[in-house]
Amino acid sequence: MKRQEIKGILQSDAIGSTIKVSGWVRTKRESKNVNFINLNDGTVLSNLQVVADVTVFKEELLKKINTGAALTVIGELVESGGQQRVELVAKEIEVIGEADPDKYPLQPKRHSLEFLREIAHLRYRTNTFSAIARVRHSMIFAVHKFFTDKGFFNIHTPIITASDAEGAGEMFQVSTLDMSNPPRKENGEIDYSQDFFGKQTNLTVSGQLEGELAALALSKIYTFGPTFRAENSNTTRHLAEFWMIEPEMAFFDLNDNMDLAEEFLQYLIKYALDNCIEDLTFLSQRAQQEEKNKPQDQRSMELIEKLKMVSDNEFVRLTYTEAIQILQNSKPAKKGKFQYKVEGFGTDLQSEHERYLVEKHFKKPVILIDYPANIKAFYMKVNEDGKTVAAMDVLFPQIGEIIGGSQREERLDVLTEKMKAMDIPLDEMSWYLDTRRYGTVPHSGFGLGFERLITFVTGMSNIKDVIPFPRSPKNCEF
């Protein structure tokens, strides 16, 4: 007999038929005559209730049916008198893999997220983490669907590179040299010409620069790959390894770029609401539970309501300079409540400022544009005022910056001057500058931090819980 998946079984109306299922035991409840076994195979949030008559099965077998054990059950699907629509009356049960109840770390009770992070190899077996995994998959699919439907091409950009796209120097080095005794040049510096690639290399912080090369031939492309940042920030919004989606479009100016970013985010959130409602409803209840521990004024909106708020409302667009004015006139600034002071033009906004604008001032997602040139990356287009660049950051409730992007500097002379001023080696970036030398055109793009999106969509409060195996300072288990 062919095994059926629980997702299909729970939707089916094949009452009276004999079916075969396999999965892992979530809970077992023993009553006088029967054992109720909740079986989950991960295809869907809900469990299938298996009813095992104690007179049919040997005690020896029933004893092996513990939380975590894997079973295959053949039985008759019947209408259920309980909370669920259907249940399975077992005829045959095989314990495929046992789980010692004294040792299995996941007990049928609520575990803290911190504890589950320590056993991340098993946390998929909880409702919360299987729900997140399914939502994450749906969002990956929706990203590809959105861009495919719009005629974008997906480009694989390199993971090992010799450049620092963001110029922030937050790179993990890639080397096969003997670290305890590296070859040295006469002046004592490490001789990277003897390294694997014959030069110093690192893991990419962004696929943008290579994405630009493709966009300036194919018109519209996007990347979706892993990125790595050796930022020493152990926050609920930062990972050392995360996934980024970076569309890049020739002939797009900053307004076109903002329109696309807004449409993209609303599409993704609507896709989640339309396709993941069972998991989202569960995650919403989970988040509500967590919110209860917070003081009243710090509690956030119910998850589904929050998602609808973002998918149904136009984002607010304003300049960095306008935002600075709002922040300087704000209550928390006047009362000295911000941890980082808003000094004026040139202040790099912190997440507390971003969240104030979104959550308290506008109560909507915000797109900030025209940032001071000196706090943004070298490739952003210099505005006519000469001191700001055509940057855009999309700010979300709870998250702060979810997207960072810009119109790119397409003028060779302006770009080279800027790179010189920022000490970016022109000869090593000659390939990048070739796009400006030959057939240069205005173009724009942005990067969406995939885990920041998933944090928002699932209502989780820590980014480390929305990627299966998080990497952060001093943490690289599994």
- How many residues of this chain bind Mg ion (CB under 5 A)? 1
Q: How many Å apart are CA 276 and CA 392, to the nearest integer?
A: 30
Answer yes or no whether residue 407 interacts with ligand 4AD by CB under 6 A.
Answer: no
CB 175 within 8 A of CB 201: yes
| Single residue of 225, 365, 404, 459 touching ligand 4AD by CB under 6 A | 404
Question: At closest approach, how far in Å is the CB of 451 from ligand 4AD?
Answer: 5
Three-class DSSP labels, 133-196: HHHHHHHHHHHHHHHHHCCCEECCCCCEECCCCCCCCCCCEECCCCCCCCCECCCCCECHHHCC
Residue 400 touches which of Mg ion, ligand 4AD, none (Cβ within 5-8 Å per kind): none
Closer of 375 and 426 to ligand 4AD (Cβ): 375
Burial state string for 20-35 with b = 16 or more CB within 10 A and e = fewer than 16: bbbbbbbbbeeeeebb
* Contact with ligand 4AD (CB under 6 A) among 246, 262, 354, 410: 246
Measured CA to CA, the distance from residue 130 to residue 112 in angstroms comes to 15
- What token pair was written down for 408? 């790119």
What whole-number distance in Å separates Cα of residue 194 and Cα of residue 173?
Answer: 15
Residue 206 site contact among ligand 4AD, Mg ion, none (CB < 5 to 8 Å, cut-off depends on kind): ligand 4AD
Q: Does 447 bind Mg ion (CB under 5 A)?
A: no
- In 10 A of CB 435, how many CB atoms? 22
Q: Which of 116, 132, 239, 454 binds ligand 4AD (CB under 6 A)?
A: 239
Query: CB of 405: closest distance to Mg ion in angstroms?
Result: 8
Q: Is 164 in the site for ligand 4AD (CB under 6 A)?
A: no
Residue 212 tokens read as 């630009």
One residue of 68, 225, 405, 459 binding ligand 4AD per CB under 6 A: 405
402 binds ligand 4AD (CB under 6 A): yes
Which residue has the closest beta carbon to Mg ion?
Answer: 404
In single-letter form, the type of residue at position 444 comes to S
Which of 68, 405 has the CB closer to Mg ion? 405
381 binds ligand 4AD (CB under 6 A): no
CB-wise, 242 or 356, nearer to ligand 4AD? 242
DSSP 360: I
CA distance 363 to 227: 31
Residue 48's beta-bridge partner residues?
39
| 231 belongs to the binding site for ligand 4AD (CB under 6 A) | yes
* Choice between 75 and 447, CB closer to ligand 4AD: 447
Whether residue 457 contacts residue 307, with contact meaning beta carbons closer than 8 Å, is answered with yes
CA distance 305 to 286: 15
If one counts every other C-beta atom within 10 angstroms of the C-beta of residue 386, the result is: 7
Choices 95-103, 262-270, 281-289, 399-407; region in contact with ligand 4AD by CB under 6 A: 399-407
Query: Which CB atom, from 23 or from 400, has the smaller least distance to ligand 4AD?
Result: 400
Residue pair 351/237 in contact (Cβ under 8 Å)? The answer is yes
Least distance to ligand 4AD, CB of residue 260, Å: 12
Please choose which of ligand 4AD, Mg ion, none residue 208 contacts, taking the beta carbon within 5 to 8 angstroms, the exact cut-off set by kind: ligand 4AD
Does residue number 405 form part of the binding site for Mg ion (CB under 5 A)?
A: no
Sequence letter at residue 56: V
Residues in binding contact with ligand 4AD, number by CB under 6 A: 23
Nearer to Mg ion, 23 or 365 (CB): 365
**Choice between 108 and 226, CB closer to ligand 4AD:** 226
Which C-beta is closer to Mg ion: that of 52 or that of 373? Answer: 373
Residues 6+ apart with CB under 8 A from 376: 389, 391, 406
* Residue from 28, 229, 418, 443 binding ligand 4AD (CB under 6 A): 229
Residue 238, binding choice from Mg ion, ligand 4AD, none, Cβ under 5 to 8 Å by partner class: ligand 4AD
The two tokens of residue 134 are 């399914």
Q: Alpha-carbon distance 21 to 41, whole Å?
A: 9
Closest CA to 317 of 267, 273, 373, 256: 256
In the complex, the smallest distance separating the C-beta of residue 238 from ligand 4AD, rounded to whole angstroms, is 4
- Residue 404 is a binding residue for Mg ion (CB under 5 A): yes
Structure tokens at 184: 């040295």
What, of ligand 4AD, Mg ion, none, does residue 446 touch, CB below 5 to 8 Å by kind? ligand 4AD
The site for Mg ion (CB under 5 A) is made up of 404
The site for ligand 4AD (CB under 6 A) is made up of 165-166, 206, 208, 229, 231, 238-239, 242, 244, 246, 401-406, 445-447, 449, 451-452
